[in-house]
Amino acid sequence: AWKKFQPKEFATPEEFESEVVRHVETTLARSMFNCDETAAYAATSLALRDRLIMEWNQTQQRHTFADNKRIYYLSLEFLMGRALDNAMLNVGKKEVAKEGLLDLGFRIEDIISQEHDAALGNGGLGRLAACFLDSMASLNYPAWGYGLRYRYGIFKQEIVDGYQVEVPDYWLDFNPWEFPRHDIVVDIQFFGHVRKYEDDDGKPISVWEGGEIVKAVAYDVPIPGFKTATTNNLRLWSSKAASGEFDFQKFNSGDYESAVAETQRAETISAVLYPNDNLERGKELRLKQQYFWVAASLYDIVRRFKKSKRPWNEFPDQVAIQLNDTHPTLAIVELQRILIDLEKLEWDEAWSIVTKTFGYTNHTVLPEALEKWSVPLMQNLLPRHLLIIYEINLYFLQSVERKFPKDRDLLGRVSIIEESQPKMVRMAFLAIVGSHKVNGVAELHSDLIKSTIFKDFVKVFGPDKFTNVTNGITPRRWLHQANPRLSELIASKTGGLGYLKDLNILNELEKYADDKEFKKEWAEIKYANKVRLAKHIKETTGVTVNPAALFDIQVKRIHEYKRQQMNIFGVIHRYLTIKAMTPEEKKKLAPRVSIFGGKAAPGYWMAKTIIHLINSVGAVVNNDKDVGDLLKVIFVEDYNVSKAEIIVPASDISEHISTAGTEASGTSNMKFVLNGGLIIGTCDGANIEITREIGESNIFLFGNLAEEVEDLRHTHNYGEHIIDPALLQVFAEIRKNTFGDAESFTALVSAIEDHGDYYLVSDDFNSYIQTQALVDEAYKNQDEWITKTILSVARMGFFSSDRCINEYAESIWNTEPLNPEEDK
Ligand code: 26V
C-alpha cells in the first residue's frame, strides 16, 4: 500500500542541519569539506523546498476536494525577488535554520544573500503581482498566478563613467524554487488561416488551420502563505519547439543552422522580458508572448474546470480571472474561441460566460502606455482571433447604437477598432467590453480613468462597472523581512506577530508615540538601518556617507513623469545654496544624503540622460571640500527588490513627486512610511490616501493639483511660459559646465525651456524647494520627527495587500477564502 511520505518538521536545529547535510552530500554530491556559501545556500533551499512541495501537494488536494471557485491572476510580470528568506519566515522556520546553519559554520544573512533575485518584472506592476500572491496564500484563497518563465529577467544595470550600461540577467543557472512539469505541455498555434463552412444543420463553422505549433511547458513555483497551511502555485510557461529536437535530416545534410533555427525561434518566445514600462512599441514578438502565455493558461484553467463535469454556465462560479493590465486581454478572445469553436456553445451564451469570468485592472493613464495592436499584424498571427474581435465589436457597437441612436461620434470613439492607417485594436477597450468589472489602483486614478480615457464607457455601461481597489503591499516582506528589528519591536508592544496578519493592529502603537524609551529604541533601529545602507554605499560606490545625515531617497524606474530631473535640479539648487553660505549658516543646516536608484528603459534616451546628470552632479558635489558632509549625492546601481529591502528601512524622507495625475498609485510610498520614513510628495496616486490615513501634519505635500495640470500645459503652449528663477539659476550653472559638458544635458533643460515643460517641473519647482526647506527644519527637531514616524506607522494598516485582496474577492471575484482548519 502507498504510505505517504512524511516531510521533516524541522522541529530542532539538528533536524534541519541533517537535511542540509543530506542535500550537500547527495543532491549536490559535495562533502562538508568543500561546502562553500553557494553550496550551503543551495542545500538550505532544497531542504526548505522539500517541505514546501509537500504543503503544496496537500493544498492542491484540499482545493480539488473542496472544488471552490478559484482565482487566476494573469500577469506578464511577477517581480518576486528572493525566495529563501521569505519561505523560512512564512513557514516559521527561520530561527531553526539560523541555528542549524550557525552550527555548520555559516551566518544566515550570508546564505540568504547568495540568492539571485527572480526579477521577472519592470517595477510597480510586477511587484504588486508578487505582493498579491503572498496575500492570497496568507489569506487561504485558492489562487493561481500565471506568467511567463523568461530566461532573461529585467537587465542588470551597471554604471560606467556615469552612464547606464545594460547587462543580461541570466538567472536560471540554479533555481531551486521551480519545479519543471515536463508532463504539462500545451500546443500553441500561430499563423495559419480560417476555413469556414456550414455543418449539416446549416450552422456556420470556423476552423483555424495550418500555421505552426510551439510547445508551452509548465514550471511551478510554490507560494507559501504566512503561517498558514496554504501553499499556492505560480505557474510559469516556457516555450519549446514542437518537434522537440532539431531537424536531423537537415543536420545530416550539413545544414546545421537551419536545423536549429526552428528550435531557436520557438524558444525566443519566452527568452526575454520587455524592459519598457509605460511605453508600448507594438512588436510582434511581444504579441506572440502574450498569446502564448494566455492560450497555455486558459487551456490549463479550462481543463481543470472540465474535470469537475459541471455544465458550462457554472464556469463563472468556479473561475475568476483577473487581467493585470491589458497584456493578457487576448484571454477574453481565447475563451470565447474555445467556447464557440471547440465546445460549440452559442455566441450569446459563450459571451455571457466570458464577461462574468473576467476582471480588468488598469495601471496607467499615460497615453503612450495604452496597448494597441495593428490589425494586419493580428490578422497574420491570430487570424481566428481577429475575426472574433470584429464580431465582439460589431455586437458591442450595435448595443451602443440601440442605447444612443443619434450619437454617431460615440460609436467611433468607443469602437474596439481604431480607424487609423493601419487599423488598430485598442486592447483596453476590448478588456472593458469583455470584463464585468474594471478597476483603477488608487482613488484619484480610478476617478481619472472614469473622467478621461474611459469616459465614454461610463456613459455606455454606467458607473457601476468601474470601481477602485487601492493598492497595498505585503507587510511580511516589506516590514518583517526587510526590517526585522522594527518588526520585533512592534511585536513586543502589540502582542506578537499577529499584526502581520491584521495590519490594523499597528494602531496600538499610537500610545507609544510619546514614550521616551520606545522612541529611543525606534530611533536606534532607524540609525542601524542607515548604517547598513551606508555600508552598502561604501562597498559599491566608494563614497562615505554619514549615517547621522538626513537620508533623502528616490528609488523607482527612471521616467520623466516621476520627475527625478526635478529632484536632481533641487540637489543642484541646494549645492549652490551651500556654496554661498557662511560657516555659521552651514552649521545650522542638516546634512543630507540624496540617494537615487532605478533603471531606465534601454531605448529611453531622456531617462538615461537623467541618470547621467545625477552621476555627474555626484562626482562634483561629493568631492567638494566646501560642502563636506552637508551634501552627498549617490546613485545606487541596479536597484531591484533585494536592494529595496536594504534601502527602504534606511530612509528618513523619500520622494514621490510625479506630476499630479500621472502616477496611478505608487507602492514604494507605502513601503517607506511603513518602515518609519516620512515622505515628500505631490497630490498624486496613493499619496492622497496615505495623507488621509496618517494625517496632513505627517507628510510633506507640495505642487499643483491634478485638476490644474491641463490648464498649465495649455498656458505653456499658447500663453506666456515663465520659468522659475531658481530653476534658471540651476540651468545657468549646468551651462557653465560645472557638471561636465553642458551639451550632454541640453535635452533635459530644453524640455522645460523650449518644449512646453509637459511634466510641469518649473511650475512645481518653487513649491518643491520650499517644502524641502520645511523638511530640513522638521528634521532638526528629532523628537517631533520620531513621533511623526511612529504615528504614521501606526496608521498604515489600510495599505496591507491583504486588505486589497479581500476587496478584490468581495467586489470583483465573488469568492471566499478556504480555511484549511475547517476543511480538514
Ligand atoms: C506597459 C507596457 C507597455 C508595453 C511594453 C511593456 C510594458 C510593461 C508594463 C506596462 C505597464 C505600465 C503600467 C504600470 O506599471 N503601472 C504602475 O502600476 C503600479 C501598480 O499598480 C502603480 O503603483 C504605478 O503607479 C503604476 O505606474
pLDDT at 46: 97
What share of the chain in percent tops pLDDT 90? Answer: 93
Cβ-proximal residues to 208 (8 Å cutoff; 6+ apart), any chain: 189, 192, 193, 194, 337, 341, 383, 384
CA of 761 from ligand 1 middle (Å) equals 22
Q: How many residues does the chain have?
A: 824
For a ligand 1 pocket test, name from 132, 363, 445 the mutation site with the most ligand atoms within 8 angstroms of its C-beta.
Answer: 363
Nearest CA to ligand 1 atom 4: 280
pLDDT at 1: 74
pLDDT at 3: 78
CA distance 521 to 487: 12
Q: Per-residue pLDDT for 635 more than 50? A: yes
Q: Per-residue pLDDT for 560 more than 70? A: yes
Nearest CA to ligand 1 atom 3: 280
Phi, psi for 417 (deg, rounded to 5): -100, 120
3-state DSSP call for residue 455? helix
Q: Per-residue pLDDT for 279 more than 80? A: no
Rounded to the nearest integer, the mean pLDDT of the chain is 96
Q: How confident is the model at residue 280 (pLDDT cuts 50, 70, 90)?
A: confident
DSSP letter for 120, please: E
- What is the average per-residue pLDDT within 262-269? 89
Nearest CA to ligand 1 atom 8: 277
Residues lining ligand 1, CB < 6 A? 122-125, 128, 274, 276-280, 325, 363-364, 369, 441, 471, 663-667, 685
Q: Per-residue pLDDT for 109 more than 70? A: yes
Q: How confident is the model at residue 823 (pLDDT cuts 50, 70, 90)?
A: very low
Nearest CA to ligand 1 atom 5: 280
**Model confidence pLDDT, tens digit, residues 61-103:** 999 999 999 999 999 999 999 999 999 999 999 999 999 999 9
Return the ligand 1 atom nearest residue 445 CA: 25
CA of 666 from ligand 1 middle (Å) equals 10
Answer whether 479's CB lies under 8 Å from 487's CB. Answer: yes
pLDDT at 251: 64
Domains 67-82+117-470+809-823 and 545-782 in one fold: yes
Q: Which contiguous run of DSSP H or E holds residue 597?
A: strand 592-597
**Model confidence pLDDT, tens digit, residues 365-396:** 999 999 999 999 999 999 999 999 999 999 99
Return the ligand 1 atom nearest residue 369 CA: 3
**Model confidence pLDDT, tens digit, residues 520-552:** 999 999 999 999 999 999 999 999 999 999 999
CA of 560 from ligand 1 middle (Å) equals 14
Cβ-proximal residues to 367 (8 Å cutoff; 6+ apart), any chain: 453
CATH architecture assignment, domain 545-782: 3-Layer(aba) Sandwich (3.40)
Phi, psi for 472 (deg, rounded to 5): -150, 180
**Model confidence pLDDT, tens digit, residues 145-185:** 999 999 999 999 999 999 999 999 999 989 999 999 999 99
Pick the CATH number of 67-82+117-470+809-823 from 3.40.30.10, 2.60.120.260, 3.30.450.20, 3.40.50.2000: 3.40.50.2000
CA distance 704 to 239: 48
How far CA 560 is from CA of 163, 609, 797, in Å, comes to: 17, 11, 31
Return the ligand 1 atom nearest residue 361 CA: 21
Catalytically active residues, by annotation: 363, 556-557, 562, 667, 671
Answer whether 506's CB lies under 8 Å from 512's CB. Answer: no
How far CA 485 is from CA of 82, 288, 318, 649, 651, in Å, comes to: 20, 46, 42, 10, 15
Q: How confident is the model at residue 246 (pLDDT cuts 50, 70, 90)?
A: low
Q: Per-residue pLDDT for 641 more than 90? A: yes
CA of 212 from ligand 1 middle (Å) equals 31
Q: What is the number of other CB atoms lying within 10 angstroms of the CB of residue 113?
A: 14
Q: Per-residue pLDDT for 116 more than 50? A: yes
pTM for the whole structure: 0.97
Phi-psi category of 763—alpha, beta or left, where left has phi over 0 and alpha has psi -120 to 50? Answer: alpha
Nearest CA to ligand 1 atom 16: 363
**Model confidence pLDDT, tens digit, residues 217-234:** 999 999 999 999 999 999
Q: What is the number of other CB atoms lying within 10 angstroms of the CB of residue 184?
A: 17
pLDDT at 255: 74
Q: Per-residue pLDDT for 284 more than 90? A: yes
**Model confidence pLDDT, tens digit, residues 476-520:** 999 999 999 999 999 999 999 999 999 999 999 999 999 999 999
**Model confidence pLDDT, tens digit, residues 6-63:** 777 899 999 999 999 999 999 999 998 889 999 999 999 999 999 999 999 999 999 9
Return the ligand 1 atom nearest residue 663 CA: 25
Pairing of the two strands 319-324 and 193-198 = unpaired
Q: Per-residue pLDDT for 245 more than 60? A: no
**Residue ranges covered by each domain of the chain:** 67-82+117-470+809-823, 545-782
Q: Where are the alpha helices (DSSP H) in 623-686?
A: 641-647, 668-674
Q: Per-residue pLDDT for 819 more than 90? A: no
pLDDT at 250: 67
For a ligand 1 pocket test, name from 155, 277, 663 the mutation site with the most ligand atoms within 8 angstroms of its C-beta.
Answer: 277
Q: Exposure of 76 by Cβ count < 10 A (0-12 exposed, 13-18 middle, 19+ buried)?
A: buried
CA of 551 from ligand 1 middle (Å) equals 27
pLDDT at 824: 35
Answer whether 170's CB lies under 8 Å from 359's CB. Answer: no
> Which region among 186-200, 608-622, 807-821 has the lowest average model confidence (pLDDT)?
807-821
**Model confidence pLDDT, tens digit, residues 297-326:** 999 999 999 999 999 999 999 999 999 999
> Which region among 71-75, 246-250, 440-444 has the lowest average model confidence (pLDDT)?
246-250
The string of DSSP letters for 160-222 reads ETTEEEEE--B--SS-TT-EEEEEEEEEEEES-EEEEEE-TTS-EEEEEE-SEEEEEEEEEEE
> Which region among 5-14, 189-198, 262-271, 488-497 has the lowest average model confidence (pLDDT)?
5-14
pLDDT at 588: 95
Answer whether 493's CB lies under 8 Å from 512's CB. Answer: yes
CA of 428 from ligand 1 middle (Å) equals 13
